[in-house]
């Protein structure tokens, strides 16, 4: 599988199907990994090679999610070759996707979220920014990719709300609570002005060089603040998103409203948080009810 063929496929996905940069990068990584495995063999003429590749991944301990993603990339690639170059038969046609384990998402307690949100040093411009980003992430449950893509004009103050563009460019409006409003307004009126270096790029949140924040950069910030307050579990921006949804449902929020705020196309994706809430309810019951504990 030549690098040029992979690039041709990625260009097709970008131009014809309009896939996001992140999705294209994921497809590219997975296909290059398979190309490296194939070596001198021609994967276009060897269907058994795909099965050997997946078996090797499985035996090396890769997760079912990784296997499913790699197979999805190969299926899309071979479908493209069939369509554009008349390749037949498709070696992935009869392969079944591995069944994914539906794990309950990791969730922080309300107290843990509060300690992380309050951890940044607001005596510095970057600390003010970090506090605003953390407050807004927990207040709205948006994805980290959506957070760093926000523009200044996505922030609406009367009434307080956030304009967010999610997957597929779909726009949604999310209400914002008082604490997040206060933190973002302080950031806009003080710290952001000091972070601008030269021309204003228009992004809501800027790094210390005055350019756009990255997902990796914000990921590192969350890990830093979690460790700073003594939380040693693996915390990611998605953990804050999971906590947002779970805490809303714990306090009686309507499932459809939570679906809308999270930007889920299918409510079944949101329903996993009801399982989290029931699990937490069971734990509270077992700990608190005098006849629930076994002697």
Q: DSSP per residue over 262-289, as a string?
A: HT-SSHHHHTHHHHHHHHHHHHHHHHH-
What would the two tokens of residue 46 be? 């060897």
Which of 167, 208, 215, 223 is flagged as catalytic?
Answer: 167
In Å, how far are 30, 117, 182, 236, 250 from 69, measured between CA atoms?
8, 33, 41, 21, 32
Which of 69, 241, 242, 247 is flagged as catalytic?
Answer: 241
Distance of CA 116 to the CA centre of its chain: 19
* Best CA proximity match to 131, nearest among 178, 177, 176, 179: 179
In Å, how far are 213, 231, 244, 257, 261 from 237, measured between CA atoms?
14, 14, 11, 21, 16
Alpha carbon distance 149, 144 (integer Å): 9
Alpha carbon distance 262, 256 (integer Å): 10
238 catalytically annotated: yes
Burial pattern 48-80, b for ≥16 Cβ within 10 A else e, equals ebbeebbeebeeeeeeeeebebbbebbbbbbeb
129 catalytically annotated: no
Which of 69, 70, 131, 143 is flagged as catalytic?
Answer: 143
Which of 58, 223, 264, 280 is flagged as catalytic?
Answer: 264
* Residue 28 CB partners (closer than 8 Å, separation 6+): 6, 10
264 catalytically annotated: yes
Cite the active site residues.
143, 167, 238, 241, 264, 273
């Amino acid at each position: 599988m030549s690098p040029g063929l992979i690039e041709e496929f990625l260009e097709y996905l970008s131009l014809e199907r309009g896939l996001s940069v992140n999705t294209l990068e994921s497809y590219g990584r997975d296909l290059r990994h398979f190309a490296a495995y194939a070596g001198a063999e021609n994967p276009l003429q060897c269907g058994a090679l795909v099965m050997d590749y997946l078996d090797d991944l499985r035996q090396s301990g890769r997760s079912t999610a990784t296997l499913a993603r790699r197979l999805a990339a190969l299926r899309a690639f071979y479908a493209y070759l069939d369509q554009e170059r008349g390749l037949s038969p498709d070696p992935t046609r009869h392969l079944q996707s591995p069944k994914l384990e539906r794990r309950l998402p990791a969730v922080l307690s309300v107290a843990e979220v509060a300690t992380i949100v309050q951890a940044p040093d607001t005596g510095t411009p970057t600390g003010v920014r970090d506090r605003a980003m953390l407050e807004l992430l927990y207040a709205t449950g948006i994805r980290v990719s959506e957070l760093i893509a926000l523009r200044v004009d996505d922030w609406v103050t009367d009434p307080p709300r956030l304009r967010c563009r999610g997957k597929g460019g779909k726009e949604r409006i999310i209400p914002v609570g008082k604490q997040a409003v206060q933190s973002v307004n302080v950031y806009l009126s003080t710290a952001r002005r000091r972070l601008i270096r030269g021309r204003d790029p228009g992004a809501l949140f800027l790094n210390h060089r005055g350019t756009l924040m990255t997902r990796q950069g914000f990921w590192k910030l969350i890990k830093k603040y979690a460790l700073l307050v003594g939380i040693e579990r693996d915390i990611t921006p998605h953990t804050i998103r999971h906590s947002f949804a779970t805490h809303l449902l714990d306090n009686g929020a309507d499932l459809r409203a939570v679906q809308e705020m999270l930007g889920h196309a299918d409510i079944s994706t949101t329903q996993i948080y009801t399982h989290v809430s029931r699990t937490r309810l069971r734990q509270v019951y077992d700990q608190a009810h005098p006849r629930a504990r076994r002697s």
